[in-house]
Structure 1
Amino acid sequence: MLNFAYKNPTEILFGEKQINEARSRIPNNAKVLFLYGGGSIKKNGIYDDVINLLDGFEVTEFSGVEANPSYETLIKAVELAKQESIGFILAVGGGSVVDGGKFIAAAVNYDGDPWEILAKGGEVKSALPLGCVLTLPATGSESNGNSVVTRKSTQQKLPFTSPLVQPLFAVLDPVYTYSLPEKQISNGVVDAFVHVIEQYLTYPVNAPLQDRFAEGILQTLVEQGPKALANPQDYDTRANIMWSATMALNGLIGQGVPQDWSTHMIGHELTAIYHLDHAQTLAVVLPSLMYVQRDKKAEKLKQLGQRVFAINESDDAVQIDKTIQAVQNFFEQMKVKTRLADYDLTESAITQVVTNLEKNGMTQLGEHQDIDLTKVTAILKLAL
């Protein structure tokens, strides 16, 4: 097991009506920026719950944060937060809104061009405090310090991370996920699944507890994901998926083990250029990446097949092939397509993705830093 230091300061308020516990977590007399996406929270009652929560606070609303939040939109919120002397951000929505809240929190006090935080690794020295009310379990953003933002004008989707933007609290009420469209249920499960894979499917370092944690999350998603599609208002199913998505990326399973994240980096370019949903890009890239990297990931691939999908073949090559196919079949079962052609993308898209990766300095990816642009091309050709 590798050395690590781990701390997760986010307080999880889990369960039905737990939003009622959040009021005491917001600083007294804070001017609050109420950040959200489209109008869905006004249709399903969540907006009213948040307004009740914030009764007595001075509140400024900012709506319109997109899926894959754009720099162009968020910078408007940054200016508004400065004008209104905002002291606390409450992000209400899925991971995109929470990611947007984190960028705003970091950018308000940033000394320089806020784009540097994303493009140049500009140091975040201070940030506004924030909390969140989660409506879409997927990214795990509610309990980590990571954020990803897209700049539409340059077709760049870039991440940053800082402990200063980790939410102080996160309200996780499974009831708030009942009204999600089928597509968002599917995307959320696939997103969480791949988050686990990025931290698990590398190479053994004698960290059996982390492996079992990861496998438990994967098994839960494989079992519960199809149930959520079949019965989206089953509380227990939605609760299990919500907690699994949080545990997938709150940092715990990634401690002391190597991590990959190449599927995400390649997928980000597909989103930035062609506007595919984040989970759609992961479902396209991962199976082909697993195949191309099968030798480097052989031990973990065999273990994944045995422990998560109950595949037990005496021939290692067959074991690995069946494991990769099982992952691809699961994505398809969750109604997320796994080929570039499914999204009307052709070989020309591969060239554009590789060009963007090079522009963004993403030329050595993976746990071994051995996924170069030639390998990316091979992966995407296999995914056609």
Structure 2
Amino acid sequence: MNNFDFHNPTRILFGKGRIADLNAQVPNDAKVLITYGGGSAERTGVLAQVRKALGDRTVVEFGGIEPNPRFATAIKAVDVIAKNGITFLLAVGGGSVIDATKFIAAAAKFSGDPWEILTSRGSVVKEAMPFGTVLTLPATASEMNSGSVITHAEKGAKLPFMSPHCYPVFSVLDPELTYTLPARQIANGVADAFVHIIEQYLTYPVAANVQDGFAETLLRTLVDIGPKAIEAPEDYDLRANLMWTATLALNGLIGAGVPQDWASHMIGHEITAFNDTDHARTLAVVLPALMNDQRGPKREKLLQYGANVWNIHEGDEDARIDAAIDATRDFFHAIGIKTRLSDYNVAASDIDTIIGALTDHGMTALGEHGAITPEVARRILEAAV
């Protein structure tokens, strides 16, 4: 097992009715900016619950944060903070709203060009505003980590950043808030969480038995409950397990002391930047093709994955790896997610543009070995057409 530091300061308030506990978590004298996405937060009554819980505090609201949150929208929120003397942020939504809020929290305290926060991957961030979250969509674990991904539409860029200053102070996780979500969003959340786990697990062995076992349990849980959670939207136990699994998938625990990949994410980001395809669906396209392309370097872990997640024990090693990759693709199909670029209006002729953007953004040595070059990424995408 590799050396590691692990610190996660986010308080989790999990369960039914926990929005009411906001009153004890937000400072009494705070001037609060509530950030949210579209109209669903209002229609479902979540915003009403939040307003009630905040009581007499000064509250300003900023809506309209997009899926794949936009740089320009976040900068508008920074202006609102300055004009209203905001002291605390509260993100109400899924990963996109929370990611945007992290960037807003950092940009509000940054004296330079906020674009540097992204181009530096967060290294220039020295402080950020405090913020909490009310999670409405289980998917990204942004509610319990320090990472964010922001899209700059004009630049055609989708870039990640991380900062230890950008952990939420607290996050409210109430599974009942997910009941009204469309099936597409739940499917995306399941796929996103699944690939988050894979990126930290499917690399090479380092005798990290605890992390591997934990990751395999989370993967098996998603395989079991993913389709059921879509079919039974008001089954509390299913939604509770999905919500907690998605949080544990990327709160730092299973990634401690192990090599990590993240090539599927970086390549997937460029597909989203190209035509705004849902992030999770880009992952479902890239991952199976990447698994097959990298079956040599990932051989030992692919065999372990096949055995411990999919119960694949028959056949020679290559046959078992083939079966594990097929099972992965079939799982995405079982939750209604297609796995080919052509399913999302991306043609072979578009790959040049995607690879060009990957190169422009410095993504030239991806994967756990730094061996996924733009040429390898092209090969992966060509296999996924």
TM-score band by shorter chain is over 0.9
- DSSP 3-state at the match of 2:192: helix
Deviation at 1:339, TM superposition (A): 0.1
**Pair 1:81 & 2:81 matched:** yes
Counterpart contact for 2:20–2:50, Cα < 8 Å? no
Aligned to 1:33: 33
Aligned to 2:287: 286
Q: Distance in 1 between matches of 2:66 and 2:144?
A: 20
Q: Distance in 2 between matches of 1:151 and 1:370?
A: 27
Deviation at 1:358, TM superposition (A): 0.7
- In structure 2, what residue type is equivalent to 1:132? T
Q: What whole-Å deviation, never above 9, does each CA across 1:59-113 have from its counterpart, x for those lacking one?
A: 1100000001000100000111111111000000000000010000000010100
- In structure 1, what residue type is equivalent to 2:182? P
- In structure 1, what residue type is equivalent to 2:59? V
Aligned to 2:72: 72
- DSSP 3-state at the match of 1:205: coil
- In structure 1, what residue type is equivalent to 2:236? Y
Q: Distance in 1 between matches of 2:48 and 2:60?
A: 15
- DSSP 3-state at the match of 1:276: coil
Deviation at 1:198, TM superposition (A): 0.2
Aligned to 1:106: 106
- In structure 2, what residue type is equivalent to 1:323? A
| Structure-to-structure mapping, 1:136-147, within 5 angstroms | 136-147=137-148
Q: What whole-Å deviation, never above 9, does each CA across 1:139-171 have from its counterpart, x for those lacking one?
A: 000000000000000110001101111001000
Counterpart contact for 2:202–2:302, Cα < 8 Å? yes
Segment drifting more, 93-102 vs 112-121: 112-121
Deviation at 1:43, TM superposition (A): 1.2
Aligned to 1:363: 364
Q: Distance in 1 between matches of 2:354 and 2:57?
A: 46
- In structure 2, what residue type is equivalent to 1:214? A
Deviation at 1:53, TM superposition (A): 1.3
**Pair 1:346 & 2:347 matched:** yes
Aligned to 1:312: 313
Deviation at 1:208, TM superposition (A): 0.5
Aligned to 2:158: 157
Aligned to 1:6: 6
Unmatched 5+ residue regions in structure 2? Answer: none
Aligned to 1:379: 380
TM-score (norm 1): 0.99
Segment drifting more, 98-107 vs 307-316: 307-316
Q: Distance in 2 between matches of 1:24 and 1:163?
A: 24
- DSSP 3-state at the match of 2:200: helix
- Identical amino acids, percent of aligned pairs: 55
Number of aligned residue pairs: give it. 384
Aligned to 1:51: 51
Aligned to 2:97: 97
| Structure-to-structure mapping, 1:121-200, within 5 angstroms | 121=121, 122-200=123-201
Q: Distance in 1 between matches of 2:333 and 2:12?
A: 32
Q: Distance in 2 between matches of 1:59 and 1:348?
A: 49
Q: Distance in 2 between matches of 1:103 and 1:171?
A: 20
- DSSP 3-state at the match of 1:22: helix
Q: What whole-Å deviation, never above 9, does each CA across 1:182-227 have from its counterpart, x for those lacking one?
A: 1001000000000000000000000000000000100000000010
- In structure 1, what residue type is equivalent to 2:189? G
- DSSP 3-state at the match of 1:269: helix
Q: Distance in 1 between matches of 2:43 and 2:323?
A: 43
Q: Distance in 1 between matches of 2:192 and 2:225?
A: 14
- DSSP 3-state at the match of 2:225: helix
Deviation at 1:22, TM superposition (A): 2.1
- DSSP 3-state at the match of 2:154: helix
Q: Distance in 2 between matches of 1:19 and 1:219?
A: 30
Q: Distance in 1 between matches of 2:181 and 2:94?
A: 11
Counterpart contact for 2:178–2:239, Cα < 8 Å? yes
Q: Distance in 2 between matches of 1:167 and 1:120?
A: 21
- DSSP 3-state at the match of 1:258: coil
Counterpart contact for 2:22–2:54, Cα < 8 Å? no
Deviation at 1:18, TM superposition (A): 1.1
- In structure 1, what residue type is equivalent to 2:343? D
**Pair 1:202 & 2:203 matched:** yes
- In structure 2, what residue type is equivalent to 1:186? A
Aligned to 1:267: 268
Q: Distance in 1 between matches of 2:336 and 2:212?
A: 27
Deviation at 1:120, TM superposition (A): 2.9
Q: Distance in 2 between matches of 1:131 and 1:349?
A: 40
Q: Distance in 2 between matches of 1:325 and 1:349?
A: 26
Segment drifting more, 341-350 vs 188-197: 341-350
Deviation at 1:20, TM superposition (A): 1.5
- DSSP 3-state at the match of 1:350: helix
- In structure 2, what residue type is equivalent to 1:344? N
Aligned to 1:329: 330
Deviation at 1:55, TM superposition (A): 1.5
Stretches (4+) displaced over 2 A: none
Q: Distance in 1 between matches of 2:205 and 2:163?
A: 28
